[in-house]
């Protein structure tokens, strides 16, 4: 027995912390960590609504989000290590080759 | 308040403090360890919501695999220490945007569900057996798509990170 807004507010706090991290951090690995926080916020919402509607779809898609997050971290860290090998830095504001 | 609400509130407070510590820590390794606290608290929150399989997958995949990947990433790249090295110059704007997002979301949640008078949800037991039969009956196609995505990510990570000998 739990009130849904409690779950949603927890998710909102996690999401806002992730937004702050993505905007304020320079280090690419820390930006990826903040993205993980936002993905977790979405999964918390899905599980909460799954509990509200008594339907397993939310939990199933929560599992899919965890799998996609694992794939995203693998590719993201591969790219970060590649950038570090070429540029000797992983600060996102110094990697501006595609910026116009 | 019910016992579940007390337990969820404690986990939510621990997880929120950990999340704020992740984005404000001055040492990158500390940020990764705070991430463990947050992800563990979120896993506990899934248990309180009776989503046992999602909770254990969260602990296994996030705490067991993804955080280890992050620590390897920090080890292989030079990890500087200090606020100026880790944060850019837009910290004030970022804090403004994040607090704006939080206030907007809480306002919308209050508008839709009414924070004080919302009904308590009866416990929904999403046990592992029913989650498994849901994945392998109604959601087989997305499940196969996810496994294909993981294969593509595996090959992509190997191709990206491997040293090119020809050049």
Q: ipTM score here?
A: 0.91
State pLDDT tens for residues B106-115.
999 999 888 7
Determine which of B28, B161, B162, B163 to mutate to test the interface with A (most A C-beta atoms within 10 Å): B161
Low-confidence ranges of chain A (pLDDT < 70): 100
State pLDDT tens for residues B39-95.
999 999 999 998 999 999 999 999 999 999 999 988 888 777 776 677 778 889 999
Instruction: Answer for the pair B50, B8: CB distance below 8 angstroms, yes or no.
Output: no
Decide if A96 touches B, using CB distance below 8 A: no
Q: How many CB atoms lie within 10 A of CB B36?
A: 16
pLDDT at B161: 77
> Which H helix or E strand runs over B23?
helix B3-24
CA distance B141 to B43: 26
CA distance B43 to B58: 6
Strands (E), chain B: 120-121
Residue written as tokens 């280090």? Answer: A27
């Amino acid at each position: 027995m739990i009130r849904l807004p409690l779950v949603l507010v927890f998710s909102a706090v996690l999401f806002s912390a992730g937004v702050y991290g993505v905007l304020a951090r320079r280090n690419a690995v820390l930006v990826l960590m903040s993205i993980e926080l936002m993905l977790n916020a979405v999964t918390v919402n899905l599980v909460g609504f799954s509990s509200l509607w008594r339907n397993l779809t939310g939990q199933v898609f929560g599992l899919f989000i965890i799998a996609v997050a694992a794939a995203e971290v693998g590719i993201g860290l591969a790219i970060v290590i590649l950038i570090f090998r070429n540029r000797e830095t992983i600060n996102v504001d110094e990697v501006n080759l595609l910026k116009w | 308040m019910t016992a579940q609400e007390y337990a969820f509130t404690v986990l939510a407070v621990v997880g929120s403090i950990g999340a704020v510590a992740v984005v404000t820590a001055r040492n990158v390794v500390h940020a990764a360890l705070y991430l463990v606290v947050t992800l563990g608290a979120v896993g506990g929150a899934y248990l309180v919501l009776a989503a046992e399989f999602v909770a254990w997958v969260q602990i296994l995949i996030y705490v067991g695999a993804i955080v280890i990947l992050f620590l390897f990433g920090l080890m292989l790249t030079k990890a500087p220490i200090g606020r100026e090295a880790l944060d850019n110059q837009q910290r004030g704007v970022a804090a403004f945007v994040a607090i704006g997002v939080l206030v907007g979301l809480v306002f919308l949640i209050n508008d839709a569900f009414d924070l004080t008078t919302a009904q308590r949800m009866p416990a929904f037991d999403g046990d592992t057996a029913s989650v498994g039969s849901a994945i392998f009956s109604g959601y087989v196609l997305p499940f196969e798509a996810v496994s294909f995505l993981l294969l593509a990510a595996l090959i992509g990570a190997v191709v990206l990170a491997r040293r090119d000998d020809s050049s």
